[in-house]
Chains A and B, each alone.
Chain A
Amino acid sequence: MSAVTEPPPPSEEFLRRRRGRNVALILVLAAFSLLFFAVSIVKLAQHPGLFTTSLDGPAQH
């Protein structure tokens, strides 16, 4: 039975790169979410009846 060896601790360089990648990814995701939200608002404003359902009651004329 072979002995279980601990993996070597990650280097400072590795941690720095990973941190940078994580920060960039979260910024991109946040920007994408914001953009998607803004586009949704614009689309809703352009088509106000788009999400009207029968639960909203009879249409007002």
Chain B
Amino acid sequence: MSDTTASTELGDGDTAPPPFLATSADQTEIGDWFALLKPRVMSLVVFTGAIGLIVAPGAINPILGFTAILCIAVGAGACGAINMWYDRDIDALMRRTRKRPIPAGRMPPNAALGFGITLASASVLMMFLAVGTAAAVLLALSIGFYVFIYTMWLKRRTPQNIVIGGAAGAFPAVIGWAAVTGSVSVVPLLLFAIVFFWTPPHFWSLALYASDDYARAGVPMLPVTAGARETRRQIMLYTLVLSLVALLPWAVGFSGPVYGGVALVLDLGFIVSAWRVLADAQDARGVSLTNDAPARAAFRYSLAYLFLLFAAFAVDRLAR
């Protein structure tokens, strides 16, 4: 449940954002309420949550399993809505986000906040009633971490915002696992670690080509505070760490050769992508001369990487 699974909508032009904020939800379309949930981020959260649930030992009634995934999705959506409420000032300054419902003047901020709080409460309560205490507590923790730790505390204060904040996006696999087992063990923690170390290279790839946006909004993303050259180096470092972490489930025997082989191939692809980012043609200040084409490619690759890696993990576990 994380903004750290970045969306990439880019507006056109560089004109100033509309100063108007809606005062009534009468102008709000159904699509705007849906957009508050950050559906693209939600899709990855649902996927990792579902994998956590599928690979967990034991069984869960399909209706309860569906409810668990739904609660994870709604909880992630709630995080998106509260994040858009809190970040409405900087969203209005960034091309990537200024067409969102609040900065575009189609939705009053308090409506988004109320929507987010309602969904967050409903998802945790439903998880508790239908699935169990452990999953509900983890869901509440992940929502709290995303809203209070990432959005309100880290995002505007430190270039490590998405490193630490990445933990919020790593929770769903653990929640899915806990929904079945009622507890947490080493396997879901490995899945957590994979998403955690995947987040920095994924998000910094985007930040490289959206750094003007972040600078304008005063968000201390790594390319803004440390420069593009250092960001490329960090992408490479985190990709190497991720590559090792991704092999751990196979190395310690929690998964078989199917996962091991897929992880190895995907790792090599990610390392090549990160290397291309590092070796991108750049001027003396580190500004890309290729319009950050390698960073854009690395961003797309990172999305495919996580989907395929988790899918391979599930296939491997089910086949054993």
For residue A45, give the distance in angstroms from its CB to the closest CB of chain B: 8
Interface residues on A, range: 10 to 19
Chain B residues near A35: list those with CB within 8 A: 67, 70
A17 within 8 A of B: yes
Residues of B21-61 at the interface with A, using a CB-CB cut-off of 8 Å, are 26-30, 33, 61
What is the 8 Å Cβ interface bit string for chain B, positions 68-94, against chain A (1 contact, 0 not)? 001000000000000000000000000
Question: A35-B70, A39-B129, A39-B130 known; A20 and B29 CB under 8 Å?
Answer: yes
Task: Note all chain B residues with C-beta closer than 8 A to A17.
Answer: 26-29
- Determine the main DSSP class of B at the interface with A: helix
Give A41's nearest chain B residue, CB to CB.
B63
A31 to chain B, nearest CB (A): 10
Q: A-B pairs with CB below 8 Å: how many?
A: 25
A17 to B70, CA, bound (A): 26
Chain B: minimal CB distance from A15 (Å): 11
What residues of chain B lie closer than 8 Å to A14, measured between beta carbons? 26
Interface size on B, residues (CB 8 A): 13
A24 lies within 8 A of B30 (CB): yes
Assess the B63–A42 pair: CB atoms within 8 A: yes
Main SS class of interface, A:
helix
Q: With CB as the reference atom, state the residue of chain A lying closest to B130.
A: A39
Residues of A near B33 (CB, < 8 A) are: 24
Q: Is the CB of A46 within 8 A of B30?
A: no
Q: Is A30 an interface residue (CB 8 A)?
A: no
A41 to B61, CA, bound (A): 11
B66 to chain A, nearest CB (A): 8
* Contacts beyond the supplied A42-B63, A46-B61: 9 A-B pairs with Cβ under 8 Å: A17-B28, A17-B29, A18-B26, A20-B30, A35-B70, A39-B63, A39-B67, A39-B130, A42-B61
Nearest 5 Cβ contacts at the A-B interface: A39-B130, A38-B63, A24-B30, A42-B63, A42-B61
Q: Give residues in A with beta carbon < 8 Å to B.
A: 14, 17-18, 20-21, 24, 35, 38-39, 42-43, 46
